């Protein structure tokens, strides 16, 4: 079956780092983008970063640019998110998501993604 499995969330002090991982399996065809979203209590789900299989490029939200780095192992269908210089504003549930089509200009919109993982909690304290 189609499945996305996240790992790597946890509790970290402000200024620290975490590395999230996501593994995709069970897809009958190749997907075109895999990335990360986050949702904090009382807030909308927002795009954090994605990696496009169409152009091989990473994309980042302005709020994390320069602090987070996305990378992928395309053969193993895995994606990673290295998060540095974390702040309490980064506290959220982080979701891995896969899109079966590529719409580059709106990569950050949740509705273009077809499959979602269960989410992993990231909590940053000061």
Q: What tens digit of pLDDT does each residue of 60-112 get?
A: 999 999 999 999 887 777 899 999 999 999 999 999 999 988 888 899 999 99
For residue 117, the number of C-alpha atoms closer than 13 Å in the C-beta half-sphere is 26
| pLDDT-based confidence at residue 24 (cuts at 50, 70, 90) | confident
Q: What is the mean pLDDT of residues 16-26?
A: 94
Q: Give the integer Cα–Cα distance in Å for 39 and 107.
A: 16
């Amino acid at each position: 079956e189609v499945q996305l499995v996240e790992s790597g969330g946890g509790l970290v002090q402000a200024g620290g780092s975490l590395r999230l991982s996501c593994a995709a399996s069970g897809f009958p065809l190749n997907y075109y983008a895999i990335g990360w979203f986050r949702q904090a209590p009382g807030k909308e789900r927002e795009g954090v970063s994605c990696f496009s299989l169409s152009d091989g490029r990473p994309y980042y939200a302005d709020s994390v640019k320069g602090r987070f780095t996305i990378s992928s192992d395309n053969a193993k269908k895995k994606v990673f998110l290295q998060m540095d210089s974390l702040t309490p504003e980064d506290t959220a549930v982080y979701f891995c998501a896969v899109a079966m089509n590529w719409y580059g200009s709106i990569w950050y919109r949740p509705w273009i993604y077809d499959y979602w993982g269960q989410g992993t909690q990231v909590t940053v304290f000061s």
